[in-house]
Chain A
């Protein structure tokens, strides 16, 4: 099978026992696998580990701001800041979302595989290798503006590799959602996670290449030029900083909206009311998160222009629309007190806080754009919201991904940590952003940075606890196909975890909740 091929509908007949023995003994089951669940697990595991490192880096950066900034050498603090920002997006949030989507989307759309499985595997391994290069290059003074010329070049190549790999993985996920849907599953019937994956993936396809273009210019100038403008140390990070700023930062967490929606409707045991509005809300959030135009390095006045201000203010509306839908779902169904639900609620609160903070950021008289501290707080809130939703999704789909329910006590502990970490990691910096208007706040800068550092540390701890909760998944019998007993979409039809090929034969899908339809038909019969 070539890299451009997709597995045929009907697998050739093989002896199941022989196949199982070969698969369990061979390292090829991991290193050479194009199986969507295996690849999803690899993306998820690696990005969670990178996430711990990324939040620790953020905690150190904040801790360095306390007092006279002597905790870290200037170049180390600068590298940790720039590498931490980009890593939390490109090595943590996007790959974590991509991992969940790679694992779940084929099952949600009734496909037996991800499209282009070998390309999907190539994407993961390229990302991991490039991510390693990126970290090593940063560690040897090759961060943005670093003093070791070859190391900076290496870092830029690693960054280009990371972006290319994420794009390749996104192409596979998007193609799966577009072309491998089962009969009857029109686009308006796909589950919310798949829909959010389509919207988010499309935004990544439109914006990550622009980031790659910026990095390419920096690389060419730095590697082959004197450098002239783009490759000059002081200019390097400014050219890519739009990717971790408003509104682009929202684009990286779009799948979280779908995860929260699917999780709540399933665990509440109700059909999503006004589903069209939910899909519209996710789509509108995606459209308003397009940030490739907002590059302050090349367009210094962009934050004063109507488009940027409009995007920043209007994005509150789809979030309010979605929050309304989620609240009505919770009120209609009384969800169980599970960690997945708790994390979804934490993610909703952090999302609300983030978009309101983002809207205030656009109000020029507040003078919040004059220092970077407010933007840092906003960044922390958005990333924490995305990670909380992703953790909720991991606990929710743990029966499919891990073949067991996650360890519930530990998972519940991670809810508390994520809430405390998200709020403490972002809110103090938002408050400090008002220091230009309320001069007394400047005196409390040290204390606020200390709380911000604590919050980032708690987020790192939340991820560690989430990893342990998933690794120490509950022993005992494996959960059934419909592990929660309330499954609505097709991922709850096959066994937990699904066997190779996911599905046997499927009925024609006639609504967004095919499993509920089947259950109701059986009751009527």
Chain B
């Protein structure tokens, strides 16, 4: 091509942010697919006049409530990290990222505790298969988000992100928001509705 009127240097939009958004959308669609099956199966059982959860199985609500509250606090702390790094306040950014990871770890522990209380045998019923697949899938999503946050925290410690370019932290925060939103739907569909 002739180079008579050359384009100015291209200012790239947020490549990592867009890529993460697509990957996050795919992850969310996995849960929508699983929850669609869950609700269809639940509806079929309830319509037939049975109770959805097998007899003798109770799913306590305290732990899911605490998990939801913890994840919401994580949303605040991860936004704090984005806010801080956008102002070159690295100390606060490190603190916020660390706190978010701690919240994530607490949710993993709480889920394990909830599993021990539920006394639901995965081999027993389709209900158990669905509940374990969906909730464990969420834990996998949470762990992926924590891994992403950890990598970005390490990069931040290495001095990579600044107020002018903090895509990595923002993108990792997006995955945290998405997995919290997914948990909110799980909380409604599985733990509240039962």
Contact of A514 with B1 in the complex, beta carbons under 8 Å: yes
- SS class, residues of chain B in contact with chain A: helix
Structural contact, A180 and B12, CB atoms closer than 8 A: yes
Of A4, A212, A220, A518, the contact of B30 (CB 8 Å cutoff): A212
Answer yes or no: A184 CB below 8 A from chain B CBs.
yes
**Are B133 and A220 within 8 A (Cβ)?**
yes
Is A209 at the interface (CB under 8 A from chain B)?
yes
A115 touches B10 (CB 8 A): no
CB contact between B6 and one of A116, A213, A507 (< 8 Å): that residue? A507
Contacts of A298 in B (CB 8 A): 36-37, 40-41
| A18 within 8 A of partner (CB) | no
Q: Chain B interface: which of A52-60, A97-105, A124-132, A223-231?
A: A223-231
- Residues of chain A within 8 A of B14, CB atoms compared: 179
Give the residues in chain A near B123, CB-CB below 8 Å. 224-226, 228
Closest Cβ of chain B to A213, distance in Å, is 3
Q: Are A171 and B22 in contact (CB under 8 A)?
A: yes
* In contact, A518 and B126 (Cβ under 8 angstroms): no
A122 nearest CB across to chain B (Å): 13
Q: From residue 33 to 86 of chain B, which have CB atoms closer than 8 A to chain A?
A: 33-34, 36-37, 40-41
In the assembled complex, B3 has its CB within 8 A of some CB on chain A: yes
Q: How far is the CA of A183 from the CA of B1 in the complex (A)?
A: 15
Which residue in chain A gives the minimum CB-CB distance to B121?
A225
Q: Which residues of A contact B33 (CB under 8 A)?
A: 209-214, 292
Tell me, yes or no, whether A206 is within 8 Å of chain B by CB.
yes
Enumerate chain B residues within 8 angstroms of A115, measured Cβ to Cβ: 15, 19
Residues on the A chain within 8 Å of B30, using CB: 209-210, 212-213, 216
Q: What is the chain A residue whose CB lies nearest that of B3?
A: A505
A496 CB to nearest B CB, Å: 15
Chain A contacts of B27 at CB under 8 A? 209
Contact with B along A164-192 (1 / 0, CB 8 A): 00011011101100111011100000000
Q: Which residues of A contact B157 (CB under 8 A)?
A: none
- In the complex the two chains form, is A210's CB within 8 Å of B29's CB? yes
B15 near A180: Cβ-Cβ < 8 Å: yes
Tell yes or no: B98 within 8 A of A by CB: no
B18 and A179 form a contact (CB under 8 A)? yes
Residue of B nearest to A204 (CB): B26
Q: Is A171 a contact of B7 with CB atoms below 8 Å?
A: no
A230 and B29 within 8 A (CB): no
A183-B122 Cα distance, complex, nearest whole Å: 55
Quote the shortest CB–CB distance from B139 to chain A (angstroms): 14
Would you give the 0/1 interface string for B128-148, flagging 1 where the beta carbon is closer than 8 Å to chain A?
111011000100000000000
Question: Smallest Cβ distance from B6 to chain A, in angstroms?
Answer: 5
B182 at interface by CB-CB < 8 Å = no
Contacting B7 at CB < 8 Å: which of A183, A230, A493? A183
Let me know if A216 and B133 touch, CB within 8 A.
Answer: yes
Q: Which residue of A lies closest to B2 (CB)?
A: A518
B5 touches A (CB below 8 Å):
yes
A212-B33, A217-B130 known; A522+B19 contact, CB < 8 A:
no
Q: Is the CB of A175 within 8 A of B34?
A: no
Partner among B19, B26, B37, B40 whose Cβ is within 8 Å of the Cβ of A4: B19
- Contact check: which of B3, B28, B34 meets A507 at CB < 8 Å? B3
Contact B18 A507 (CB under 8 A): no
Most interface-central of B2, B8, B10, B133 (chain A CB within 10 A): B10
CB-CB nearest in chain B for A492:
B1
Q: Which chain B positions have C-beta within 8 A of A221?
A: 126, 129
Docked-complex contact B126 and A230, CB < 8 angstroms: yes
- Which partner residue on chain A sits nearest B167 by CB separation? A4
Closest CB in chain A relative to B167 CB, distance in Å = 9
- Return the CB mask of A290-317 against B: 1 if under 8 Å, else 0: 0010000011000000000000000000
CA distance A209 to B126 in the complex (A): 21
CB B142 to nearest CB in A, in angstroms, measures 16
- Interchain CB contact under 8 A, A179 and B137: no
User: Contact: A518 with B9, CB < 8 Å?
Assistant: no
**When chains A and B are docked, how far (Å) is the Cα of A515 from the Cα of B41?**
56
Contact B2 A522 (CB under 8 A): yes
Cα distance, A94 to B161, chains bound together (Å):
37
Is A1 in the interface zone, CB < 8 Å from B? no
CB–CB A175/B19 < 8 A: yes
Whether A515 touches B1, Cβ cut-off 8 Å, given contacts A212-B30, A506-B7, is: yes
**Which residues of the other chain, A, contact B22 by a CB distance below 8 angstroms?**
170-171, 174-175, 205
A-B CB proximity, top 7 nearest: A213-B33, A210-B33, A209-B29, A183-B7, A175-B19, A209-B30, A229-B126
- Chain A interface residues toward B at CB < 8 A: 4, 6, 9, 115-116, 119, 167-168, 170-172, 174-175, 178-180, 182-184, 205-214, 216-217, 220-221, 224-226, 228-231, 292, 298-299, 493, 504-509, 514-515, 518, 521-522
Q: 12 interchain pairs (CB within 8 A)?
A: A174-B22, A175-B18, A179-B13, A207-B29, A210-B30, A225-B123, A228-B124, A228-B125, A230-B129, A506-B6, A508-B5, A521-B2
